[in-house]
Amino acid sequence: MSPANPGYQAPAVTVSSSLPKRKADKTVLIVPVVSGGDDDGRATVVANPFLDAEAVGEIEVALESLGAKGGPDQVTRVVAPSLPVGSVIAIGLGKPREDWPSDLIRRAAGVAARSLNGTEAAITTLSDIDLEAAVEGLILGAYRFSDFRSDKTAPKDKGLRDITALVADTKGKAKAQAQRATNIATAVATARDLVNTPPSHLFPDEFAKRAKALGEAAGLDVEVLDDKTLAKEGYGGVVGVGKGSSRPPRLVRLAHRGAKNKKSKKVALVGKGITFDTGGISIKPAANMHHMTSDMGGAAAVIATVVLAAKQKLPIDVIATVPMAENMPSATAQRPGDVLTQYGGITVEVLNTDAEGRLILADAIVRACEDDPDYLIETSTLTGAQTVALGARTPGVMGSDEFRDRVAALSQEVGENAWPMPLPDELKDDLKSTVADLANVSGSRYAGMLVAGTYLREFVADGIAWAHIDVAAPAYNSGGPWGYTGKGGTGVPTRTMFAVLEDIAQKG
């Protein structure tokens, strides 16, 4: 990703109603298979109009000889001589169903894509079940990040560059659906690229430059506030967190102006952009601190989402406010016990400098509310307590009850699986300070995710429906690859936020 060529470059996607007529030995055909209904449980090819009986027979005989059962995510590579491709990847879907969940197809496509091993062109019949899920899964499963590898360890091939999605009817909305899926997957992959870029190369000023390049390429209005402007205008949270670093903070504003009339809704997006988090003076343990390269995952997702909203020409206004800082210990760093003034005037006693995300987010939330949005969505890798409560793959959603539940439901529909969480009123008492309006942490070890949400709630203007999505673990996969998710940045919750924006555009 560079200013001249911003964003992830996705594979080319073609929609077709038939297999190629000429033999393409370097092309792989991906077909879904299910567990057979007979006693031996043999894998059978999911019915489709693209393969004749001879080809189906070749695939199923080969699968039987290899003992393939068609279980979920089981990958088996075979050869079918009658087909115009070099090989066939059979991807298991499990037991047959009448209705296939989109995320099951998305995951299957991702698993298949991860098994391609250097193949640059793939054709799939998964798209005949769910076109958009298949395209998204293939692009995201094929995602790579090798920008910092030398020739010694870099992949020798270009990875998957061409996808042909087979569908029975190409005359309807298929091409538009494929393009929408490509745009969504590209946005997720762009967020992944930002998260995976190491902090040596992605610091606040560079992050702001990349956000600006992405925004301008998509036709967004872009504003970048530097450290001097932030100090002058009273962004005490962003300045306070960033003053320990030699690389000063920034705040970026990206606006998609898509509203068609006065009835069109306006949505504010806010994302935490801590380009690296040592914890500051309240320094983190050394073990696994390198994962804090992902502490700007919320900002990356917000930037990718507002760019996607512009590409999809959503008929609403979407304005992103993205604070960026590096949290470092130094002679100039803020100390535990310091008091700062957030943008808007609320004073905060900083009891723990490692609770820095809420400080920069509070500034951004107040600024975002000055635009008088109908809805506000904020996302961040905010608390380790999210991981304790919900694990590595389930974001927690807090906020206005009705909007919180709407966001969580849409997240579950798109496969990011956020879960609604409460904000009990009594938690506000835990944020009392003896010297300032608020403390940035409570004295209790319990309900850390909810306490952070309670803190942020204090800065949301009255009358604005809002949701806070904590993606502390879901934004970064530190384990092995699964489905369409590899190691490193995941791009979560880009698809959730875009689904919410589309839903608001359609329903208000």
**Sequence-distant (≥ 6) Cβ neighbours of residue 4 within 8 angstroms:** none
Angle (CA) 493-292-111 rounded to 5° is 50
From the candidates 284, 393, 428, 487, which is the catalytic residue?
284
How do beta strands 266-271 and 317-327 pair?
A: parallel
Question: Which tokens hold the place of 64?
Answer: 């039987």
Residue 263 annotated as catalytic: no
Written as one letter, the residue type at 343 is: Y
- Lookup result for tokens 């057979």: 36
Phi-psi region of 2 (alpha: psi -120 to 50; beta: other; left: phi over 0): beta
Q: Cα separation of 186 and 304, whole Å?
A: 9
Residue 358 annotated as catalytic: yes
Helix (H) or strand (E) holding 140: helix 131-141
* 265 CA to centre of own chain: 23
Torsion of CA 61, 66, 71, 75, to 10 degrees: -100
Q: Is-cis flag, bond preceding 493, omega within 30?
A: yes
- Lookup result for tokens 């914890």: 279
From the candidates 114, 266, 358, 404, which is the catalytic residue?
358
Q: Cα separation of 475 and 466, whole Å?
A: 20
Dihedral of alpha carbons 196, 334, 252, 205, sign? negative
Q: Cα separation of 289 and 372, whole Å?
A: 38
Helix, coil or strand: residue 86: strand
The residues assigned a catalytic role are: 284, 358
